[in-house]
Amino acid sequence: MKRFWVAWGERYLYNPSLIQKILSVLLLPLSWIYCLLAYIRYLRSRPKSFGIPVVSVGNLIVGGSGKTPIVVELAKHFEKPAIVLRGYGRQSRGMVVVKDKSTILCDVIKSGDEAMLYAQMLDSAMVIVSEIRERAIAEAASMGCDVVLLDDGYGKHSIEKLNLLIAVPTPNPYCLPSGAYREKLWSSKKVIVMMERVDFKRSVTLKNPTEKMVLVTAIARPERLDPFLPEVIEKVYFEDHHFFTQGELEMIVERTGATSLLVTSKDLVKMSSYKKLNISVLELSIELNETIITTVKDYVNAAKN
């Protein structure tokens, strides 16, 4: 049932039917109130410096936009980066140092899938999850990091930072609950808007391909994968951040006769202990425009001085 409502909600926000469009219009008064409250919250905020450069990679909408590979690519350009994020889907609370400069300190259940992916992909990066991002930034500064990369930080208006904003096309331009926007791009807020195929390009490598693959994934808006998919015999979608059990994955293999499960790197971190499963992996990488890289480096260097 939960999977049904998640899929319904994604269609409502990004590819609405006629009935869903009518519902969206009926909910517009609530959207105006929501957007007004978000604007007031923005106006009342006062950006604070934490003694360390902070670069945010975010978007304005609910659902996925591909922030993770961009953060990974940016982190590679610094010696002592820290990745700070909320840790959606984790089964823990408070601040957790997932990885110090060399060692992963907890499991994926405590860290969440995105944080563990960062920890595994970036040898020199510290990774911290916390509902209170300011606390995690202060911790990164105390541990000697030279820059904080904030995953999904546009709305954290009280933090002094460089804002990179990924543009995500949507036919529904309204704030919640009529549309997908958590808040608008306020005219007085300085941001760098990043356009796909202009400021960054995505590419995918397929590892361990087999003859009969079933796509199994738990990411937001999984249809984003379609342009990169090889031929698959079926697609099975779970809600974002879902923790797979070995039993449910084995049932998918048995039902479909698949020779492997095709997953993303984000899904894979939650399956690494399931040794009996044959896994194929879609590894997504990003090529960033040199102008973006230079802009970020210039900001970080100026903030240090």
Query: What average pLDDT does the segment 238-266 reach?
Result: 94
Q: How confident is the model at residue 5 (pLDDT cuts 50, 70, 90)?
A: confident
Give the residue carrying structure tokens 């919640």: 176
Give CA separation, 44 vs 38, 47, 174, in Å. Answer: 10, 10, 22
Same domain, 76 and 141: yes
Same domain, 63 and 137: yes
Same domain, 193 and 224: no
Same domain, 190 and 73: yes
Domain containing residue 250? 202-286
pLDDT of residue 232: 97
* Token representation of residue 280: 């194929």
Q: How confident is the model at residue 9 (pLDDT cuts 50, 70, 90)?
A: confident
pLDDT in tens, 114-170: 999 999 999 999 999 999 999 999 999 999 999 999 999 999 999 999 999 999 887
pLDDT in tens, 62-73: 877 789 999 999
pLDDT of residue 277: 93
For residue 277, what are the contacts with CB-CB under 8 A and spacing of at least 6? Answer: 246, 249, 250, 253, 261, 271
Where would I find the H helices in the chain? 2-14, 18-26, 28-44, 67-75, 108-111, 113-121, 133-142, 246-256, 265-268, 290-304
In a domain, 131, yes or no: yes
Q: What's the longest Cα–Cα distance across the chain? A: 60
For residue 197, what are the contacts with CB-CB under 8 A and spacing of at least 6? Answer: none
pLDDT of residue 50: 94
In a domain, 10, yes or no: no
Q: Which of the 8 DSSP states describes residue 123?
A: T
Query: What average pLDDT does the segment 20-37 reach?
Result: 95
Same domain, 98 and 123: yes
In a domain, 208, yes or no: yes
Residue pair 46/160 in contact (Cβ under 8 Å)? The answer is: no
pLDDT of residue 66: 81
pLDDT in tens, 154-194: 999 999 999 999 998 877 789 999 999 999 999 889 999 99
pLDDT in tens, 76-108: 999 999 999 999 999 999 999 999 988 999 999
What percent of the chain clears pLDDT 90, i.e. is strictly above it?
79
In a domain, 187, yes or no: yes
In a domain, 13, yes or no: no
How many helices (H) and strands (E) in the chain? 10, 12
In a domain, 232, yes or no: yes
pLDDT of residue 133: 97
Same domain, 137 and 209: no
Q: What is the 3-state secondary structure (H, E, C) of 222-253?
A: HHHHHHHCCCCCEEEECCCCCCCCHHHHHHHH
Same domain, 69 and 175: yes
Length of the chain: 305
pLDDT of residue 63: 75
Same domain, 225 and 162: no
What percent of the chain clears pLDDT 70, i.e. is strictly above it?
99
Q: Tell me how far apart the alpha carbons of residues 303 and 294 are, in angstroms, rounded to a whole number.
A: 14
What's the total number of domains in the chain? Answer: 2
Q: Tell me how far apart the alpha carbons of residues 75 and 282 are, in angstroms, rounded to a whole number.
A: 21
Q: Which amino acid is at 147?
A: V
Q: What is the pTM of this model?
A: 0.92
In a domain, 190, yes or no: yes
Instruction: Answer yes or no: is pLDDT of 3 > 80.
Output: no
Same domain, 156 and 61: yes
CATH number of the domain within which 155 lies:
3.40.50
Same domain, 188 and 296: yes
Same domain, 58 and 125: yes
Considering only residues 90 and 6, tell me which one the structure prediction assigns the higher pLDDT: 90
In a domain, 53, yes or no: yes
pLDDT of residue 1: 64
Same domain, 143 and 182: yes
Instruction: Answer yes or no: is pLDDT of 74 > 70.
Output: yes
Listing DSSP states for 270-294 in one string gives TTTT-TTS-EEEEEEEEEE-HHHHH
Question: What b/e string do you get for 207-246 counting C-beta neighbours within 10 Å, with b at 16 or more?
Answer: eeeeeebbbbbbbbbbebbeeeeeebeeebbbbbbbebee
